Structure 1
Amino acid sequence: MVKSKGLVVLLIVFITASLVLSGCGQDKETNSSNEITSDKLAKEQILRVDWGDEPPSLDPQLTGDLVSGAILIETLEGMIRLDEYGKVKEGSGMAKSWDVTEDGTKYTFHLRDAKWSDGKEVTAQDFEYSWKRAINPETASSYAFLAYDIKNAEKFNKGEIKDENKLGIKALDKKTLEVKLERPNPAFLSKLQTFTFLPSRKDLVEKWGDKYGSEVEYLVSCGPFKVTKWVHEAELILEKNEDYWDKENVKLQRVEGTMIKNSNTAINMYETGALDFTNISAEYLEKYEDVMKKAPVAATYYHAFNTENEFFKNKNIRKAFVLSIDRKRILDLRTNGMYPAAYGFVPPGMPGPGKKTFRQANGDLFHDLGKGEEVKKEAKDLLDKGLKELGKSKEDIDGEIKLLCTEGDSTLALAQIWQQAWKEVLGIDVGIEQATFKIRLDRQDKGDFDLSYTNWWGDYNDPMTFMDMWVKDGSQNMTNWSNPQYDKLIKKAQTTTGDERMEAMLEAEKILMEELPIAPHDFGVKVYIEKPYVKGVVRLPLQILQGLKHAYVLEH
């Protein structure tokens, strides 16, 4: 970022995602009206939360976003649940136990007795159907790649084989599911906590068709909660599922969820008791410094370039845009360094070779304006070089690029910071397009954008959850970029183990950050405030919001 008064004025707010909420105010937070009066449970077990946005779909095999996923983990029960430490815990989900062959290529899951919210029995056939549905190319699940560990899943998903009976998924009886893998993968069980592997009902999918997961009347639950009210773009209410197998350990009776886009509204609702916790942005760090909490998240926020765009198909132009922003200065000024600047795609904490994390092993893979004023000339030269290679001029690109981002005042303020940087460093006017969360995702999927601000949260605790999305024709590769060597390295990492596997991913990230179809901005951190009477909410790096199964409210 250029060190100029214009940009400092624009640094009025900072967020790391459209879900982070901000506002204004300077008084220190006091909790006099929210003090715990005893260690007894409150008479009304009601939790008030902000979902952040409208969930595009609550069909687990069609879901491809974090808002929907956060709700689905509360309303459906997968084979496993993670414990409060993020570890796979046997017996925590629909599988009461499982067996694994010595070579690690066959899992046999033994299901517990459980019911759906309409009284029907949960069966192994439900899981067989759901997992095969996710893999079926006709479903067009954007997360089908998560199942590629399963025998013949990738070939079936890509149309190379047509017979779904060749998939390594088979219900042996109502309570036993057998799953065969292509090769052993220690991360396989961890993947089963993602929404792609949650169960759906064949009879209801066939009955309701495209309506499945779209309204309260087209939903069925087998998890701790069920959806009882859904006013689109406004609120979504959960109530305790009395048919849940572990209902004795669910204390909350009701979760009142709103969808707030105005940052001031969110803070006002928290202060008046209409919200029990909320994320906070830079404007509130001082006000809430005595009570705010911080939790790590496995997430990277970044700009995605559409490489089919007439300008962004050129690497030098992409790099010019990347270099023109001083990430660290933005973050330091607004958050005192609480949010780490990102100079690689895989976030801190992901395992790497030996005792190092992946990020420690690969370090910073690109630089920006924070390196010094000389980078400004470097960025300008790269832009000129790229335009010359395309046979175009600065007049051709000026005013032709638009940045797509989610609607909301905080997101807009951040977009304006980048807009000003590109203007001051490159002399280019970049427009800003705001859209609803659902529309932004849809436009990204269709390639209907020039440049988009988005994010990626890891699905499981392995660097591959950040790396395999950029292969050619990958379902999450909105950039349309491809590189044969990158694809070769990812395939190698998928078929090898140990140091050889890790080295392949490290080299692949270097290619990604040299080509820059994406421009990482910062790594996610959840900074939030929570009423002292709220207990038991589980926040894990691999979950966008929280786990509410064990949450409860004390008298206050």
Structure 2
Amino acid sequence: MVKKSLALLLVLALVLGTLAGCGPKQPAAEETPAAEPMVLRYNLGDDVKTLDPQLNSVINAGIIQVNTFEGLMRLDKNDKAIPGMAEKYEISADGLTYTFHLRDAQWSDGQPVKAQDFEYAWKRGLDPNTASEYAFQLYYLKNGQKANEGELSIEEVGVKAKDDKTLEVILESPTPYFLELTAFFTLFPVRKDMVEKDPETWSMKPETFIGNGPFKMESYIMGDRIILVKNENYYDKGRVKLDKIEMLMIGEASTGLTAFESGDIDYIDDVPTQEIERLKASEPAFSVAPSLATYFYAFQTEKAAVNDPKVRKALSLAIDRKAITEKILRGGEMPAAGFVPPGLFDAEGKDFRAVGGDYGIDVNAASIDEAKALLTEAGYPDGKGFPELEVMYNTSETHKAIAEAIQEMWKKNLNINVKLANQEWAVFQQTRTEGNFVVARSSWFGDYADPMTFLDLWTSYSGKNNAKWKNAEFDKLIEGAKSTSGQERFNLLYEAEKLMMEDMILMPIYYYVDISLIKDYVKNTRKSILGYIYFDEAYIEK
């Protein structure tokens, strides 16, 4: 009985199953659509000259580098060193020997990051054949300067890979900001095999621009854009939310603003000065933040027109800095009377700028009578006989407006004729480095939070000394400051700035603030007071 009933049930099940199979096909469950890639669009501005960490010397290329490479340390939101490629380190009791222990990390092509990559990069930066403008940032290493100047072999420099994961660094003298300096792009590691494939342009091609940071290069269209994408081989890739960053190259600030306001760009930090008042009042995306940077004109002190300190002082005293900041810039910039900006403090907690003083510069008005007297002492009464002066600047609406204002001030206050000349950014960098100018628009953003980053530019051996000024006493003060500590060190730095400002090798104009426009859906970008933008924790909220 049981067996017969079971058979009937099996037959019935087969029939019903067959009938069900003959019916209309049931719709499949809807598939969840793939999430759209998270893309941030940032205006980089002008195209870059190089992305080679040991050869770069400018901010916009540095922004790419801090997002595609990582040093032994990286910087937190307060620009203090935290572990990067080195997960831990020890410092000897005398402060001279650092032993860094590298974490397990990979390059963007999957190869392991090794201590040898750091040794190679640092020695490459010091090699005189590399001709790095920033070689002086590696002079803190034992024998670094001597190797760079050809007095010793590069192999005698105080950096050595003890094994794949251990890097030993020996310094010339204790350096309180050395850990922060290891987060600077000149000290980033590079892969020897990639560099040697194409020493000139390896950093401009995705196939050889191999980094170890949160993003990697996907494409580079010169003069148009650089595309970065998330680096899946980054050791802390979970921290990275963006899939892609489109870094556009719109050189004109007004064009960049139009693109931002039309929704084609999410983030710009070059804002037309003539639009600042309107944007302050009406644009919620408008923001102003502190910046550790100085805008100035450099005098090429070897050129006949400006080789007399009296002439340079006359030119500096004859401009109205307050008029420039309030009538042209209008973003909250401060008129500058010294080179080191406010916000850096000595061992006694005093602001370096406040202690250093103003060197006779009135930040609120031009000192016309004093300027005329100095020009007369230099042999040019009422400007008579003074050669036409050329001011060189890189193409920019803001730089042009400032140059035109200074041109008018020098003509009105000193009766001298000024010619203005502009060059595109890549060309201008070369012109300035080679010293092929009389007066050149310049700026300096600190590489770390210490006055030294502003002052050691002007040593006779610095690759960034565009003024071509040489002063043995200044060199001695800087070298002394690098081998001492505490307030004694700062006293030497005060003396050094006083020396260069008394010689007026440059004309400080204003201290920067950072003005940005960022769409409200862009979250967690971080701009350092040093000028670099970090996108490693950024995301788009729409």
TM norm structure 1: 0.87
Residue of structure 2 in register with 1:319 after alignment: 313
Alignment counterpart, residue 123 of structure 1, candidates 106, 109, 114: 114
What are the residue-to-residue correspondences of 1:215-294 with 2, within 5 Å?
Answer: 215-279=205-269, 280-289=271-280, 291=284, 292-294=286-288
Alignment counterpart, residue 500 of structure 2, candidates 496, 512, 519: 512
What are the residue-to-residue correspondences of 1:481-492 with 2, within 5 Å?
Answer: 481-492=469-480
User: Taking structure 1 as reference, are residues 275 and 498 closer, same or farther at Cα in structure 2, changes over 3 Å only?
Assistant: same
Equivalent position amino acid for 1:285 in 2: I
Alignment counterpart, residue 526 of structure 1, candidates 473, 495, 514: 514
Equivalent position amino acid for 2:335 in 1: A
Asked whether 1:108 is paired with 2:99, we answer: yes
Distance 2:79 2:70 in 1: 16
Asked whether 1:71 is paired with 2:58, we answer: no
SS in 2 for 1:411: helix
Alignment counterpart, residue 289 of structure 2, candidates 283, 287, 295: 295
SS in 1 for 2:90: strand
Residue of structure 2 in register with 1:6 after alignment: none
Distance 1:554 1:509 in 2: 46
SS in 2 for 1:218: coil
Deviation at 1:520, TM superposition (A): 0.7
Alignment counterpart, residue 159 of structure 2, candidates 160, 163, 169: 169
Residue of structure 1 in register with 2:126 after alignment: 135
Distance 2:379 2:303 in 1: 13
SS in 1 for 2:499: helix
Residue of structure 2 in register with 1:182 after alignment: 172
SS in 2 for 1:455: strand
TM norm structure 2: 0.90
User: Taking structure 1 as reference, are residues 461 and 484 closer, same or farther at Cα in structure 2, changes over 3 Å only?
Assistant: same
Residue of structure 2 in register with 1:462 after alignment: 450
Residue of structure 1 in register with 2:538 after alignment: 551
CA displacement, residues 379-433 of structure 1 (integer Å, 9 cap, x when unaligned): 2222232136xxx99554343x211101022321221111111111111121111
Contact 1:224 1:250 in 2 (8 A): yes
Residue of structure 1 in register with 2:360 after alignment: 366
Contact 2:81 2:180 in 1 (8 A): yes
Deviation at 1:88, TM superposition (A): 1.1
Distance 1:436 1:129 in 2: 33
Structure 1: state its 5+ residue gaps.
Answer: 1-40
Equivalent position amino acid for 1:117 in 2: S
Equivalent position amino acid for 1:141 in 2: S
User: Taking structure 1 as reference, are residues 134 and 329 closer, same or farther at Cα in structure 2, changes over 3 Å only?
Assistant: same
Contact 2:308 2:378 in 1 (8 A): yes
Residue of structure 2 in register with 1:207 after alignment: 197
CA displacement, residues 445-481 of structure 1 (integer Å, 9 cap, x when unaligned): 1111110011011111111111111111321111111
Deviation at 1:369, TM superposition (A): 7.9
Distance 1:411 1:358 in 2: 28
Bigger Cα displacement from structure 2, 108-117 vs 283-292: 283-292
Contact 1:323 1:369 in 2 (8 A): no
Q: Report 1 or 2 for greater relative contact order, CA contacts < 8 Å, sequence distance ≥ 6.
A: 1
Alignment counterpart, residue 378 of structure 2, candidates 386, 404, 423: 386
CA displacement, residues 145-201 of structure 1 (integer Å, 9 cap, x when unaligned): 111121111111122212x33211111111111111122211100101111011111
Distance 1:329 1:42 in 2: 51
Contact 1:151 1:181 in 2 (8 A): yes
Larger radius of gyration: 2
Equivalent position amino acid for 2:290 in 1: P
Deviation at 1:377, TM superposition (A): 2.5
Residue of structure 2 in register with 1:397 after alignment: 386
CA displacement, residues 79-101 of structure 1 (integer Å, 9 cap, x when unaligned): 111112212113xx111111112
User: Taking structure 1 as reference, are residues 72 and 393 closer, same or farther at Cα in structure 2, changes over 3 Å only?
Assistant: same
Residue of structure 2 in register with 1:305 after alignment: 299
Distance 2:360 2:347 in 1: 21
Distance 2:404 2:93 in 1: 56
Residue of structure 2 in register with 1:346 after alignment: 340
Equivalent position amino acid for 1:322 in 2: S
Structure 2: state its 5+ residue gaps.
Answer: 1-33
Distance 2:201 2:384 in 1: 48
The alignment of Structure 1 onto Structure 2 pairs a total of residues equal to 505
Contact 1:322 1:368 in 2 (8 A): no
Equivalent position amino acid for 2:72 in 1: M
Deviation at 1:371, TM superposition (A): 4.4
User: Taking structure 1 as reference, are residues 152 and 87 closer, same or farther at Cα in structure 2, changes over 3 Å only?
Assistant: same
Alignment counterpart, residue 49 of structure 2, candidates 46, 56, 72: 56
User: Taking structure 1 as reference, are residues 42 and 274 closer, same or farther at Cα in structure 2, changes over 3 Å only?
Assistant: farther
Deviation at 1:535, TM superposition (A): 0.7
Residue of structure 1 in register with 2:411 after alignment: 423
SS in 1 for 2:130: coil
CA displacement, residues 126-154 of structure 1 (integer Å, 9 cap, x when unaligned): 11101111111111111111111211111
Contact 2:48 2:61 in 1 (8 A): yes
Contact 2:89 2:101 in 1 (8 A): yes
CA displacement, residues 215-245 of structure 1 (integer Å, 9 cap, x when unaligned): 3343112111111121212211111111111
Identity %: 38
Distance 1:285 1:409 in 2: 13
Distance 1:151 1:398 in 2: 46
Equivalent position amino acid for 2:339 in 1: F
